[in-house]
Amino acid sequence: MITLEQALAELPPPPLIHYPESDGKPMGDNDQQRDWMNKIIENLKALFAGRPDVYVTGNLFWYPVEGNNRIVQAPDAMVTFGRPPGLRGCYKQWEESGIPPQVVFELVPPNNTLDEMVRKRAFYQKYGVEEYYVYDLADNVLEGYLRSPSGFDPVAQMNGWRSPRLGISFELGVDGLALRYPNGQPFREVWELFQAMEEGRIRAEAEAKRAEPLAAKLRALGVDPDQEEA
């Protein structure tokens, strides 16, 4: 007589579930949305550069439930504390110690409906987001939501608000939204960030070249410039 364990062992393995990494849609509906998305992502990466426990990304599929590839969202920008930076095809939460993104940003594109934005907010509330920020570029309207024991509570005043998790502040004026680092410096455009990185690389190379003759002289005198003093 075949036991239940034997019968189960003879069953074929369940089919592998495919978790798509793209839906084929463009990163943004227009240049303004795409530029803002990149600006938020790259400045947050710069803010947490060197941190081994902060993962910043955007426009990446986030799957919170193992075994169900229909439960998915792709936030315009998201920050996850407790996970290392690095390249991922998608964010499978069960492979990330079960940690959901704590901070999410969405930019409202022209063709998004109110129902769609409500569904997104419900998704983020259900699956563990702590801070959720929504900016409507066309109407210059900024909303923020903070997790509480009952779910998401709207931030009463977003102008001047400081993110508890990120430390960045939001300023909303007639000219649009401005984001600031914890030290008060404004978020820079992506090209400015890249330019600063390149200038830093050039300065480092120039300093290394200036140090080479001195190092050679020290070695000629029998002194190792790379050896730390006791």
- Domain contains 1: no
- Domain contains 82: yes
Whether pLDDT at 6 is above 80: no
- Whether 28 and 120 map to the same domain: the answer is yes
Alpha-carbon span 200 to 193, nearest angstrom: 11
- Whether 90 and 117 map to the same domain: the answer is yes
- Whether 102 and 206 map to the same domain: the answer is no
Q: List the one residue out of 113, 129, 111 whose CA is nearest residue 121.
A: 129
- Whether 129 and 208 map to the same domain: the answer is no
- Domain contains 5: no
Q: What pLDDT, on the 0 to 100 scale, is given for residue 85?
A: 96
- Domain contains 122: yes
Say if strands 103-108 and 131-136 run parallel, antiparallel, or are unpaired: parallel
Whether pLDDT at 200 is above 70: no
- Whether 39 and 67 map to the same domain: the answer is yes
- Domain contains 2: no
**What pLDDT band is residue 219 in, cutting at 50, 70 and 90?**
confident
**Structure-model confidence comparison of residues 21 and 2, the more confident one:** 21
- Whether 182 and 205 map to the same domain: the answer is no
Is residue 83 within 8 A of residue 4, CB to CB? The reply is no
- Whether 211 and 137 map to the same domain: the answer is no
- Whether 213 and 100 map to the same domain: the answer is no
- Domain contains 128: yes
Q: What is the CATH number of the domain that holds 33?
A: 3.90.1570.20
Cα dist. 106→41, 56, 113 in Å?
Answer: 12, 14, 13
- Whether 73 and 107 map to the same domain: the answer is yes
pLDDT tens track for 23-52: 777 666 788 899 999 999 999 999 999 999
- Whether 26 and 109 map to the same domain: the answer is yes
Number of domains, the chain: 2
Q: List the one residue out of 121, 124, 122, 55 whose CA is nearest residue 90.
A: 55
Burial of 79 (0-12, 13-18, 19+ CB in 10 A): buried
- Whether 181 and 210 map to the same domain: the answer is no
**What pLDDT band is residue 216 in, cutting at 50, 70 and 90?**
confident
Instruction: Give the pLDDT mean for 45-67.
Output: 97
Domain that holds residue 225: 189-230
- Whether 20 and 60 map to the same domain: the answer is yes
- Domain contains 172: yes
Alpha-carbon span 37 to 44, nearest angstrom: 11
